[in-house]
Amino acid sequence: MSVLDSKVPKGPIKDKWSNYKDHINLVNPANKRNIDVIVVGTGLAGGSAAATLAELGYNVKAFAYQDSPRRAHSIAAQGGINAAKNYQGDGDSTYRLFYDTVKGGDYRSREANVYRLAEVSANIIDQCVAQGVPFARDYGGLLDNRSFGGVLVSRTFYAKGQTGQQLLLGAYSAMNRQIARGKIEMFNRHEMLDVVLVDGKARGIITRNLITGEIERHSAHAVVIGTGGYGNVYFLSTNAMGSNATAAWKIHKKGAFFANPCYTQIHPTCIPRSGDYQSKLTLMSESLRNDGRIWVPAKIEDAKAIQQGKLKPTQIAEADRDYYLERRYPAFGNLVPRDVASRAAKERCDAGFGVNATGEAVYLDFAAAINRYGKEQAKIQGISNPSEAKVYELGQAIVEAKYGNLFQMYEKIVDENPYKTPMMIYPATHYTMGGVWVDYNLMTTVPGLYCIGEANFSDHGANRLGASALMQGLADGYFVLPYTIGDYLSDDIRTGKIPTDTPEFDEVEKAVKDKIDFFLNNDGTKSVDHFHKRLGKVMWEKVGMSRNAKGLTEAMAEIKAIREEFWKEVKVPGSGNEMNLELEKAGRVADFLELGELFAKDALVREESCGGHFREESAETDGPQKGEAKRNDKDFAFVSAWEYKGEPADAILHKEELEFNDIELKQRSYK
C-alpha cells in the first residue's frame, strides 16, 4: 500500500462531510487562546483562513510579501465565483456542480474533496453577501449569474470584472476586524523562507523582513501555507510578478509531497505577447466567452494578409470566417473548457491561421453580441426600426456595462478599440492545478503542516473550470480548514508555547542565512531575470500546451543545466540588511529552477493526455473524436505525489489511486 493516506471518511459521498464534522475532536474556547497558528499568504485562501481561525479564538500570525493582505494575487481574479445556488432555476444542484468539476478536471481529482467543495459553495455566497461584497444584481435586487466554460448552467456570481478584488476585500475586512482585536498579528512585507519541524511536526517558519532584511523566527502549533500557484515557472504568465513557489517548494524539501506538478492551466483568452521586453501577460476574463465569438480567417491567404497588416478583420466576410470552436464543438461552442479552447487556438495558429504579426493570436469578436443586445434594447425601449447606428449604440452600452473594465484594460495595453475591431487573444499560463499534496483534512504529508488554495494540488484534477479557484480558496479557508485543523490541534492544548531558541530553529535559520550570503557574495555576471527568462522559454516550448517524450527529456536536461549555471553565474547586487528586490527574486527563481525540472519529469511519466496535460503520443487517431486528447484510465487514474530526494530528477513517485464511486469515468466530450 502506498504511504499516502487520503483519510477520506467512510460512508455515502453526500454524508461524508457532515458525519466527519459530527465526529471530530474540538478545542474548547479557553484552550484555543493558548494555541498559535501561522498562516502564510493572505489571498482568498490564507485571508479567509486567518480571519476564521482568529474568530474561533486561535492566535493567528499571518504573513504576506506585499505591503497589505489585500494585495495578494487573488485581487486580480476577474470573472466570478461558482456556487450551486440554483437561483436561476436552471437545474443546478450540489451534485451537478460536483459532477461538472470532476468531469472538467478530466477525472483526475479526488471525488470526496470535490463533493465537499460543491456542498459548501452555497455558503460562500451567503457569507460574502453578509460581509458586504457588492455582487452584481438584477433589477429585482436579487443576485445575478453568468455562465463559464465547461458547464450548461448559470452558476457564476460576479462583481463586474473584479470579482476577486471584491471577495478578497471581503476576507480582508474580516481580517481587519481581527487585526484590530489583536487576534491576528499581521506581518506585511515578510517572506517565508523555510519551515521548521520539531519532532517531525511543523512548528514554525523562518521569514525575512523585506524592509530591514532581518531574518526572523516564528513559532506556532500548526503552519498553514496558502501562498498561491507556481505559474511563474514559465516566466510569462498572468500571475503577479511576485507570485512564487518558494513556500510550497521549501516545505516539499522538508517532507511534504508535491502532487501533479505537470497539471497547468493555459488560459485561452489572454492578450498576446508583443515583444521580448514583455514582463507579464494579461488575462481577458473567460466571462467574455459568454458573448464573444472566437474565429480566425477560413482562407490561408486572408490570414497571411492580416499577418502582414494588409487586411483588417472587419473586412473579412462572414462566410470567410472560421468560428472553429463552434464548428468543432457544437454543443458547447465558445464555452468549451479552457484546455480544449487553448489547444484549438494553438492548432489553428500552428496551421498558419494566426492573426497578428507573430501569427500567435485569434480573434474574440463582440460584433454579434453588440448587435443582438442592441436589437433587444431597441425593443425594450420601444424604438421601432432603429438605425444600424442606434442598434450599435444601444448594444455597446450593454456590453460596456458587462465588461467595461476589461475592454478598457485591453485598449490601454493594445491601443485598439475592442468595440470597433475584434480583440486579439492567445493562450497563456494562468493557473496551476498541481501543488502540495494534501489529504481530506488539507494536511500535507508533514503533521501540522497544512496547505490551502491554489498552493495545494486541490480539487481541480487535471483542469480547473472557470470561477472554481475562488470557490476553492474560500471553501478551504472559511469552511474546511477551520474544522480539520481543530481536530489536529486538540492534541496540543497542553503543549504550551513553542520556543524558538532551539537547535531546530538555529539550524534552519542558519541555512537560510547562508543561502542569502551566497547570493550576495557570488560575484556572477548575469541577472536573475536572465535565468528566469531562459527557464520560461524551455518550459513554454517543451512543457507547454503540447508535450512529448523527446521534448520533456530535453527539458529536464536543459533546466538542470540552467540551474547549474545559475548557481555559478547569478549576480545579486546590494546587501542583505535592507530592502533588496533582486535578492528576493534570486531566492524565488532558484526554487523555480528545481520545480521546473520536477514538472517536466512528472509530465514525462504521465504517458496519457488529461486536462491541461496533453501528450502528443496520446491522442485519438480516428472516429468523431479524432485529434482530441486521449486519457488512459487503466494505467493513470492516480495522483502523482513526489517525494523529495535531493535532485529533482531523483524524486520518488508515490501514487494515490483515484476511486470513482459516484461518477462514471467517461471520455470528456464537449461536441
Partner 1 sequence: MNLTLKIWRQKDSKTKGQMVDYKVTDISEHMSFLEMMDVLNEQLVNSGDEPIAFDHDCREGICGMCSMYINGEAHGPDRGVTTCQLHMRMFKDGDTITIEPWRAKAFPVIKDLVVDRMSFERIQQAGAYISVNTSGNTQDANSLPISKHAADEAMDAATCIGCGACVATCKNSSAMLFVGAKVSQYALLPQGQVEAVDRVKNMVAQMDLEGFGNCTNTGACEIECPKGISLENIARMNREFLKASLKG
Ligand X SMILES: Cc1cc2nc3c(=O)[nH]c(=O)nc-3n(C[C@H](O)[C@H](O)[C@H](O)COP(=O)(O)OP(=O)(O)OC[C@H]3O[C@@H](n4cnc5c(N)ncnc54)[C@H](O)[C@@H]3O)c2cc1C
Candidate residues 340, 469, 586, 639; the one interacting with ligand X per rule CB under 6 A = 469
Using Cβ positions, the residue closest to ligand X within the complex turns out to be 43
Candidate residues 75, 202, 251, 559; the one interacting with partner 1 per rule CB under 8 A = 75
Torsion of CA 417, 328, 90, 406, to 10 degrees: -20
Residue 431 binds which entry of ligand X, partner 1, none, with Cβ cut-offs from 5 to 8 Å by kind? ligand X
AA letter at 330: P
- Closest by CA to 33, choosing from 175, 183, 178, is 183
Three cell numbers at 235? Answer: 516566466
- For residue 40, the surrounding DSSP H or E stretch is strand 36-40
Candidate residues 53, 81, 210, 658; the one interacting with ligand X per rule CB under 6 A = 81
Cα separation of 613 and 590, whole Å?
A: 25
Number of residues in contact with ligand X, rule: CB under 6 A?
46
> Degrees (nearest 5) of the Cα angle 620, 622, 627?
45
Residue 180 binds which entry of partner 1, ligand X, none, with Cβ cut-offs from 5 to 8 Å by kind? partner 1
Candidate residues 130, 319, 380, 389; the one interacting with partner 1 per rule CB under 8 A = 130
Q: Which stretch binds ligand X (CB under 6 A): 19-27, 104-112, 461-469, 492-500?
A: 461-469
Cα separation of 15 and 146, whole Å?
A: 30
Three cell numbers at 84? Answer: 450551486
Q: Enumerate residues 203-222 that contact partner 1 by CB under 8 A.
A: 211
Q: Tell me, rounded to whole angstroms, the distance of Cα 264 from its chain centroid.
A: 9
Cα separation of 599 and 612, whole Å?
A: 13
Q: Enumerate residues 146-165 that contact ligand X by CB under 6 A.
A: 163-164
Candidate residues 149, 150, 204, 226; the one interacting with ligand X per rule CB under 6 A = 226
Residue 79 binds which entry of partner 1, ligand X, none, with Cβ cut-offs from 5 to 8 Å by kind? ligand X
342 binds ligand X (CB under 6 A): no
Candidate residues 74, 109, 178, 356; the one interacting with ligand X per rule CB under 6 A = 74
583 binds partner 1 (CB under 8 A): no
- Closest by CA to 233, choosing from 556, 602, 596, 588, is 596
Choose between 478 and 636: whose C-beta lies nearer to partner 1.
Answer: 478
Give SS3 for 194. strand
Q: Enumerate residues 47-66 that contact ligand X by CB under 6 A.
A: 63-66
Choose between 92 and 302: whose C-beta lies nearer to ligand X.
Answer: 92
Give SS3 for 137. strand
CB atoms within 10 A of CB 555: 25
Q: Is the dihedral of CA 355, 358, 361, 366 positive or negative?
A: negative
531 binds ligand X (CB under 6 A): no
Q: Which of 70, 108, 208, 338 is catalytic?
A: 338
Cα separation of 189 and 62, whole Å?
A: 11
Q: Provide the H-helix boundaries in 493-631.
A: 503-521, 528-542, 549-569, 581-605
132 binds partner 1 (CB under 8 A): yes
140 binds partner 1 (CB under 8 A): yes
Binding mask 37-66 for partner 1 (x = CB under 8 A): -----------x--xx--x----------x
- Kindly provide the b/e burial profile for residues 631-660, where b requires at least 16 CB atoms within 10 angstroms of the residue's own CB: bebeebbbbbbbbbeeebeebeebebebee
Residue 385 binds which entry of partner 1, ligand X, none, with Cβ cut-offs from 5 to 8 Å by kind? none
338 assigned to active site: yes
- Nearest distance from C-beta of residue 480 to ligand X, angstroms: 13
Residues that bind ligand X (CB under 6 A): 40-46, 63-66, 72-74, 76-81, 163-164, 191-192, 226-229, 238-239, 243-244, 246-247, 283, 285, 430-431, 453-455, 467-470, 473
Enzyme catalytic residues: 338
